[in-house]
């Protein structure tokens, strides 16, 4: 069954201004999330190497990079699905009000996961359980996490489905995931993630399997909902153009190391790291005549590699690039880790 969804247009036009407008960062004292020198190791491999970034309340942050950059690993660490002692973890993850969650155990995470931090997974059709109805999957967290009664949970579930733009919400509760289209499944996932009003929403490539028109709907929906709740969102993305549209700040990762980070407008308009510039050079615009692809290659995660992990693929390598790792330093409105940056 392919569902009809002609009327699913949300009252999105009622939003006062274009979503492109950024809320100016207020000089707030305490960020919602502060990740400092986070390293994650598995055996001999160092998967994340001294990752540092922070996210203010109400802000959006994009984790960018090719596959294998450690984007999803960071997301899984932030929701406590990759924890000690399964992996070696050092550094701190300060979640406002919860302390250093890098040290938290499963008991502590059970109180945080879903309530403070929620996640929208990449593949909605795999993340939703095919054996249970949408209603059951949506109402279970409402009853268990939020402690609502059966009837209250049902009412809230309908409300949530309506807020993510699913028409005919009451009858959707008894539908199974396979009866919904990909876009609708993604909306259900967003509704589940939002059901407990999290402060921090992690969206791991939420639209990579969807058509562009549905992608625009979903990204807009996530931005509207997080803004309305003044919660924050971390997007895991590989599309730089999309990141420039929906993220206030970005972190460009390669092989688990932060290459360049800062406000997306500054970093993406004039990248200083050769890797950011190379990624930008791969993005197709409608008037792109020539592409300048990066040479092939994959990062080495061997923990003993001393230098910059991007050096083997870099066109601007100096001798010291392989010998020592460049520190993340403040340069022209951003943080940059490169010995030989573009100017």
> Which CB, 18 or 131, lies closer to other proteins?
18
Which pairs with CB-CB distance under 8 Å and at least 24 residues apart come from 213-216? 214/182, 214/183, 214/186, 215/242
Stretch that binds other proteins, among 94-102, 196-204, 289-297, 324-332 (CB under 8 A): 289-297
Note whether 212 binds other proteins by CB under 8 A: yes
Note whether 181 binds other proteins by CB under 8 A: yes
Residue of 79, 87, 102, 219 interacting with other proteins (CB under 8 A)? 219
Residue of 156, 265, 316, 320 interacting with other proteins (CB under 8 A)? 265
Which pairs with CB-CB distance under 8 Å and at least 24 residues apart come from 140-145? 141/114, 141/192, 141/195, 141/196, 142/195, 142/196, 145/114, 145/115, 145/195, 145/196
- Torsional class of 328: left (φ above 0), alpha (ψ -120 to 50), beta (otherwise): beta
Stretch that binds other proteins, among 76-84, 156-164, 170-178, 291-299 (CB under 8 A): 291-299
Note whether 291 binds other proteins by CB under 8 A: yes
Cα(193)–Cα(172) distance, rounded to whole angstroms?
17
Note whether 298 binds other proteins by CB under 8 A: yes
Residue of 8, 146, 152, 155 interacting with other proteins (CB under 8 A)? 8
Helices 182-194 & 212-228 angle (0-180, nearest 10): 10
Note whether 12 binds other proteins by CB under 8 A: yes
| DSSP tag of 113 | B
Note whether 186 binds other proteins by CB under 8 A: no
* Strand, coil or helix: 53: strand
Note whether 195 binds other proteins by CB under 8 A: no
Other beta carbons within 10 Å of 327: 11
Cα(214)–Cα(119) distance, rounded to whole angstroms?
19
Minimum distance of other proteins from residue 6's CB (angstroms)? 5
Note whether 24 binds other proteins by CB under 8 A: no
- CA-wise closest residue to 82 among 20, 24, 39: 39
Note whether 63 binds other proteins by CB under 8 A: no
Residues that bind other proteins (CB under 8 A): 1-10, 12-13, 18-21, 66-67, 181-184, 208, 211-217, 219-220, 223, 238-242, 244-246, 265, 268-269, 278-279, 281-288, 291-294, 296, 298
């Amino acid at each position: 069954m392919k569902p009809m969804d002609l009327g699913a247009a949300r009252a999105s036009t009622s939003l006062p201004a274009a979503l492109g407008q950024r809320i100016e960062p207020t000089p707030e004292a305490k960020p919602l999330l502060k990740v400092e020198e986070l390293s994650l190791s598995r055996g001999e491999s160092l998967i994340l190497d001294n990752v540092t970034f922070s996210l203010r309340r109400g802000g959006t942050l994009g984790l960018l990079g090719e596959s294998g950059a450690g984007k999803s690993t960071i997301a899984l660490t932030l929701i406590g699905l990759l924890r000690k002692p399964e992996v070696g973890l050092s550094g701190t993850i300060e979640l406002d009000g919860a302390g250093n969650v890098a040290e938290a155990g499963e008991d502590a995470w059970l109180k945080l996961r879903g309530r403070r931090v929620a996640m929208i997974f990449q593949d909605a059709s795999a993340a939703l359980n095919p054996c249970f109805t949408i209603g059951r999957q949506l109402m279970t967290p409402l009853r268990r996490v939020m402690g609502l009664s059966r009837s209250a949970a049902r009412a809230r579930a309908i409300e949530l489905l309506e807020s993510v733009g699913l028409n005919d919400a009451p009858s959707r509760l008894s539908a199974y995931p396979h009866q919904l289209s990909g876009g609708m499944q993604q909306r259900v996932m967003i509704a589940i993630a939002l059901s407990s009003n999290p402060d921090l929403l992690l969206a791991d490539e939420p639209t990579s399997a969807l058509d562009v028109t549905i992608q625009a709907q979903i990204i807009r929906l996530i931005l509207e909902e997080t803004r309305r709740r003044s919660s924050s969102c971390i997007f895991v993305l590989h599309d730089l153009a999309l990141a420039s549209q929906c993220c206030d700040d970005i972190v460009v990762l390669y092989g688990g190391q932060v290459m360049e980070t800062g406000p997306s407008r500054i970093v993406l308009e004039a990248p200083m790291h050769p890797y950011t510039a190379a990624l930008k050079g791969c993005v197709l615009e409608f008037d792109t005549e020539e592409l300048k692809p990066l040479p092939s290659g994959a990062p080495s995660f061997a923990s003993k590699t001393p230098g910059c992990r991007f050096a083997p693929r870099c066109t601007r390598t100096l001798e010291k690039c392989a010998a020592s790792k460049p520190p993340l330093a403040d340069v022209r409105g951003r943080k940059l880790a490169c010995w030989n940056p573009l100017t």
